[in-house]
Homo-oligomer: A and B are copies of this chain.
Amino acid sequence: MSILLRMIPYSLPSSDFAQEKHSLSSWETAVIDLFLNAATSVGLPKSVGQIYGLLFCRDEPLAMDEIMELLSVSKGSASQGLRSLRQLGAVKSQFLPGQRKEHFVAEIRLRKLVSGFLKEQTEPHLEKGKARLNHLQELVDATEDRNSAERGRKRTNVLASWHRQVGKLLPLVKLIVGKTDRSNKR
């Protein structure tokens, strides 16, 4: 078996000879650009959007060097971008038999994408928010001026209420997107 595998050169992939592995079709370019915009609009670097967009277009898993070439991005961007995407749960790496390189595919279930994004990007903020509220409480309790302290108490209460409401909202968002997501069975 190892002999057999060794006989297949890496540069001549067996079955997908007609596959456009080294160029993007025009609709793919458009999709990549769409994700580029979507990414920056939610505060992610554009390379992250591009990489996801490319993988979203393709059926076959891609290796990092293919991504670099197709998108003309640097090694560093590709590596870091893929790391971010993995953390968000937006790409998975898939092992191809006989291939050394790691290959990547896009997660296309909206529910997974949304919940990954929320978990990575907003839950940490909520956590820090809780800490900040406590700190705030202390500062208010330590204020001399009675009027200011009273005002501070009111505002702290408002913030605490907001915090609770947003905390309740996030699980609901996941739930709702999940409910209507037809593709959430593997």
Contacts and interface: CB of A to CB of B under 8 A. Distances in A.
Interface string A151-182: 11001001101100100110011001100111
Contacts of A182: 161
A173 B135 CA distance: 29
A148 interface: yes
Contacts of A64: none
Contacts of A139: 26-27, 30
B169 A176 contact: yes
Contact of A143 (B26, B108, B172): B26
B181 A110 contact: no
Contact of A136 (B31, B37, B58, B143): B31
A168 B143 contact: no
Interface in A87-146: 108, 110, 125, 128-129, 132, 135-136, 139-140, 142-143, 145
Given A20-B145, A169-B176, A155 B125 contact: no
A34 interface: yes
A25 B110 CA distance: 45
Given A25-B148, A38-B125, 8 more contacts: A27-B143, A28-B152, A30-B136, A34-B129, A34-B132, A41-B125, A161-B183, A172-B172
Interface of A: 18, 20, 25-28, 30-31, 34, 37-38, 41-43, 56-59, 108, 110, 125, 128-129, 132, 135-136, 139-140, 142-143, 145, 147-148, 151-152, 155, 158-159, 161-162, 165, 168-169, 172-173, 176-177, 180-183
13 contacts: A27-B139, A27-B140, A30-B132, A31-B136, A43-B43, A108-B158, A110-B161, A161-B183, A168-B176, A168-B180, A169-B173, A169-B177, A172-B176
